[in-house]
Structure 1
Amino acid sequence: MAETASPKARKRCAVYCRVSSDERLDQEFNSIDAQKEAGHAYIVSQRAEGWIPVADDYDDPGFSGGNTERPALKRLLADIQDGRIDIVVVYKIDRLTRSLTDFSKMVDVFERQSVSFVSVTQQFNTTTSMGRLTLNILLSFAQFEREVTGERIRDKIAAAKKKGMWMGGVPTIGYDVVNRLLVINKDEAAVVRRMFEEMLTIGSPTQIAARLSDEGVTTKAWTTQDGRVRTGTRIDKKYIHKVLRNRIYLGELSNRGTWYPGAHQPIIEQELWDKVHAVLARNSHERGVDTKIRSRNDALLRGLLYAPSGERMYPTYSRKNGRKYQYYVSKSESRFGAPGKSYERLPAAEIEAAVVAQIRTVLTSPESIASVVRHIQNNGGQVDEASTVMAMARLNDVWDQLFPVERHRVANLMIERVDLVHTDEMQGIRVRWRELGWDTLIGEFAPRGVGAELLEVEA
């Protein structure tokens, strides 16, 4: 009696295809099609071994093999993890990846799921040590080729920039890009020159930005090579600083932090550039001194005060007739100047006095003290009402002796935020007390605490 050969077990095969560039993908028969056709033909040739194609293909057109951030590859690996694939078929190894590290990680996944890897043009079996060695050698060359290609491209870009050519990116205001060269846009160049000149006369990037915004002047508007329109946005002081420090306007181009003479015409003369940067350097030093002053003289409500719109208010000051006046201004005014403000500036002394009045009320209120005790005890703290009464009374007594920075720290322990309330019916403040931090505060001003010692010294 003749023996019949047992049928081969079915092996589900997935064809993975990739091409780095999306050019020529609109052709009737492209590289992806060629890879796919070769992969399916190979599966058909192995039908006697039980190979069958899965219903779906995994195509990544226009994706680099240098990383794994590819949608079809991620879908392939997910299906492998789910046990839906037995063999992965590619045209060449570098279609799967050009990174040796990524490949070793993929092989680990393949081995855990008992999945084989086959290259149509390079016969390998990853289940053998010799096959893995050969694959790693080939992949090392693929990675080397990718790195050399990257170096060659970077060298080409550097050489082009040294010759003054524009090598892509977002064009800066004042110039348009024509045939890889920067060409002066007269209207925008006038805006750039105005920024530099007004820095000498006005000296305030915030005020310059406010004036330009009032006149409807925006940042660079341009159209990409594929026809997408990028509209300009509102100019703020950060943008002004960026323009004032951009050496492109001197006729130069940058490559890796080094500036080279460009092929484009400058908008700003060296003399004007030097004068403006002398102003910027002097103002930078003055701002540094002011920052140190503010750090020693910290505003009580810094980071806590919010306008009715929900916008944060920032501390600032001005000088007049030798006197210093402190205010809180909205974030929009801080960024865009007075024309951009969303809420009137507030005298710091008045709003801080209102908040301190509420703090003192809480520190001396029996209801508040009882609430604090319950909160600390509910959170596992060991505190009694008598100690809490003494601690809060001590804090109230020494408040005026605390340094401004210490008052700010204590306020942050007690308060989560202070909202300005401005409706038709009323104007005022709403304080949201912070649940956390009270136990720390009570500990500091309890008997034998820091606050208690301060009180004894003052006495």
Structure 2
Amino acid sequence: MKKTQTADAQTRAVIYCRISQDRTGAGLGVDRQREDCEALAERNGWQVVETYVDNDVSAFSGKLRKDYRRMLADLDEGRATVVIVWHTDRLTRSIVELEEYIELSDRRGIATHTVQAGTIDLATPSGRMTARILGAVARQESEHKGHRVARARQQKAMAGEWSGGIRPFGWGVPTGELRKKVDRKTGDEVEVPELDMSRAVPEEAEALRYWTDEILRGGSIRSLVQWSADKGLTTARGNAITHTDLRDMLMRPRNAGIAVYRGEEVGTGQWEQIVDETRFRAVCAVLKDPSRTTTPGAAPKWLGSLLYRCGRGDCPEFVYVTQSGGRRYPSYRCQTGHGGGRRAETTDQHVEDTIVERLERPDAHDLLEHAPEGIDVSALQIEGEQIRQRMRDLGGLFGAGQLELVPFTEGMDTARAQLAGVTQQLARAAKVDPLVSLVGAADVRAAWKALSLDRKRAVLRSLVDVTLKTPRPGRMPDGGYFDYDAIVFGWKRGNS
């Protein structure tokens, strides 16, 4: 049997500190552990050769603890013969990790001393039993704490309360009161405004409503990201709003006053509703639609890029703009690369003039899409909530072992399909015709010019197919060389 390491002036020791949740980021809990461990080493006359720290890392979560792994490697190389920790649960709460530590301690003759629980002699059967019992108790405490925290969050979500975390974009109005907080960078205690998470921030709420309406009118996430940058809007953390950020913000149920727990809608939240549920559901349907038209690569700079068709012979491909005619003369050319090109600027101007002229006619109102008939939004919302409740009930029965996997899966698949149909109907009811802001405008041309390129492209997609046929050679009847008659318009609505 190996002897337990005894106190000696030459004894080399290492300190291990860990805190599983550092809410302030200041590392104060780790500092207190280190001070107590250093005091224990000084009382015993040990030389501390290294201190290992894992801050804000749980031993129960399974996440990699880099300094813990580094300490084990150093101990295996004979760096020290004593390990000092504040308590055994700081060392590990995993049975697998504990057995690894016991094996290493036995193999290298390492003694473990704690500030709170005394000496753990892992060289003896009774010491190993004590360590295993303490490890089992620590794991039970972690599991119990996790269950308690999860239950508290579930109760808050079910009651529609804010459960904490990063301030969601759109909410958090200062109450006029201050609260103390430790600055993560400096470690200093500072006072910050207390926020009322039930009240909407006017500027951010207006942005959410604008984004929602633009998507329903045919706008793109990319154009809204640029709009946000131009307005100086940032995320709740103060970072620039990215494509992913904006899409996530638009699809957040909180916008419509819907409370969520673990990704499932659980009721109505106790906060201001920024977007009505119909428009929220419609935006989600639009953004999730696999057939949604998106432009890969860089943002389009021309009206007809990948929207105009080639039309040379029987070619069905779309055209895009190249600089093959020199930077002064960007041209539309077919994706297949066969010959010929049409001046992009002249082509777009002719298409825009033709669209504006069509929208200026007295019968332009005939071009507007009629509101979907027979769609009862209120009934659809009720039906959707009933389906979601059925899905929650199925999940509860399956989790309690009262429902087998096959009927659970079949029931969930049916419910999802039904919910998708309801969402599509709500999207139809909430979508805005891209032509609405143009038809009936006092000055159609001015209204057209005021649209962003994305909105113009949405009008083009909705109203007309443009095909670039092979132009006639030579001078045209108007004296120029551009063959306007080779640009063919196939109107999708009304009469030409």
Shorter-chain TM-score tier: 0.5 to 0.7
- For 2:202, the aligned partner's letter is K
Matched, 1:163 2:159: yes
Alpha-carbon spacing, 1:33–1:352, altered in 2? closer, same or farther (3 Å): farther
Structure 2: distance between partners of 1:272 and 1:61: 44
Is 1:347 the counterpart of 2:334? The answer is yes
Confirm or deny: 8 A CA contact 1:12 1:87 kept in the other structure. Answer: yes
Partner deviation per Cα, 1:2-29 (whole Å, 9 max, x = no partner):
xxxxx999543334344445579669x9
Which of 222, 226, 235 does residue 236 from structure 2 map onto?
222
Q: Deviations over 1:292-324 (max 9, x none)?
A: xxxxxxxxxxx9xx99xxxxxxxx842569995
The answer to whether the Cα contact below 8 Å between 1:167 and 1:180 also exists between their aligned partners in 2 is: no
What's the counterpart of residue 36 of structure 1?
38
In structure 2, distance between residues paired with 1:211 and 1:58: 45
Structure with more of its chain in helix, by fraction: 1
Partner secondary structure for residue 167 of structure 1: coil
CA distance in 1, matches of 2:287, 2:41: 64
State the secondary structure of the residue aligned to 1:168: coil
Relative contact order (C-alpha < 8 Å, sep 6+): which is higher? 2
1:102 is matched with which residue?
Answer: 97
Cα deviation, residue 85, structure 1: 0.9
Question: Structure 1 vs Structure 2: percent identity of aligned residues?
Answer: 23
1:86 to 81, 87, 91: 81
Distance 1:352 1:172 in 2: 53
Aligned residues: 291
Question: SS of the residue aligned with 2:336?
Answer: helix
Aligned mate of 2:146, from 150, 163, 188: 150
Find the aligned partners of 1:64 and 1:197 in 2 and give their Cα distance.
Answer: 43
Residue 192 in structure 1 maps to residue 208 in structure 2: yes
2:160–2:259: 8 Å Cα contact kept in structure 1? yes
State the Cα deviation string for residues 113-138 of structure 1 (Å, max 9, x = none).
33233345344321122321221111
Q: What is the aligned counterpart of 2:241 among 233, 237, 248? A: 233
Distance 1:158 1:329, change over 3 A: farther
- Find the aligned partners of 2:331 and 2:47 in 1 and give their Cα distance: 70
Indicate conservation of the 8 Å contact 2:171/2:200, yes or no. yes
Q: Which residue is 1:318 aligned to? A: 307
Q: Superposition RMSD on alpha carbons, in Å? A: 4.2
Code of the residue aligned with 1:160 in structure 2: it is K
* Counterpart-to-counterpart distance in 1, 2:206 and 2:72: 55
SS in 2 for 1:173: coil
2:270 is the alignment partner of 1:270? no
Structure 1 runs, 4 residues or longer, greater than 6 Å off: none
The 2-side partners of 1:34 and 1:239 are apart by: 44
1:54 is paired with a residue of what secondary structure?
strand
Indicate which of 131, 144, 147 corresponds to 2:127.
131
Aligned partners of 1:72, 1:274: CA distance in 2, in Å?
Answer: 47
From the superposition, tell whether residues 63 and 245 of structure 1 become closer, same or farther in structure 2 (CA, over 3 Å).
closer
Instruction: Give the letter aligned to residue 227 of structure 2.
Output: L
Is the CA contact (8 Å cut-off) linking 1:165 and 1:181 kept in structure 2?
no
Distance 2:332 2:172 in 1: 40
Contact 1:18–1:32 (Cα < 8 Å) also in 2: no
Gap regions ≥5 residues in structure 1: 1-6, 45-51, 224-229, 292-302, 308-315, 331-342, 354-459
Alignment-derived partner of residue 442 in structure 2 = none
Per-residue deviation, residues 44-102 of structure 1 (Å, max 9, x unmatched): 4xxxxxxx433444455554343574454344323212212122233421121122222
Query: CA 1:252–1:79 in structure 2 vs 1: closer, same or farther (change >3 Å)?
Result: same
Give the distance between the partners of 2:118 and 2:8, measured in 1 at CA.
24
2:261 aligns with 255
Q: Which runs of 5+ in 2 are unaligned?
A: 1-6, 175-194, 299-304, 323-329, 341-496
Distance 1:82 1:64, change over 3 A: same
Instruction: Give yes or no for contact 1:329–1:344 (8 Å, CA) kept in 2.
Output: yes
Letter in 2 for 1:262: G
SS at match of 1:85: coil
Matched, 1:181 2:176: no
TM superposition shift of 1:141: 0.7
Residue of structure 1 aligned with 2:220, choices 205, 209, 215? 205
| Displacement of 1:198 | 2.5
Residues 372-387 of structure 1: matches in 2 within 5 Å? none
**Per-residue deviation at 1:254?**
1.6
Per-residue Cα deviation, 1:417-454 (whole angstroms, up to 9, x for no partner):
xxxxxxxxxxxxxxxxxxxxxxxxxxxxxxxxxxxxxx
Distance 2:332 2:57 in 1: 52
Decide whether aligned partners of structure 1 residues 268 and 34 sit closer, same or farther in structure 2, where only a CA change above 3 A counts: same
Change (3 A) 1:11 1:278: closer
Output the amino acid matched with 1:268: V
> Residues 444-459 of structure 1: matches in 2 within 5 Å?
none
> Offset at 1:110?
2.4
Q: Report Cα offsets for 1:180-227 as digits up to 9, x if no partner.
A: 624212122222112222233x324257537726x714664335xxxx
Cα distance in structure 2, aligned partners of 1:63 and 1:278 = 39
* Cα drift, residue 145 of structure 1: 0.6
Please tell me whether the aligned partners of residues 318 and 324 of structure 1 are also in contact (alpha carbons under 8 angstroms). Answer: no
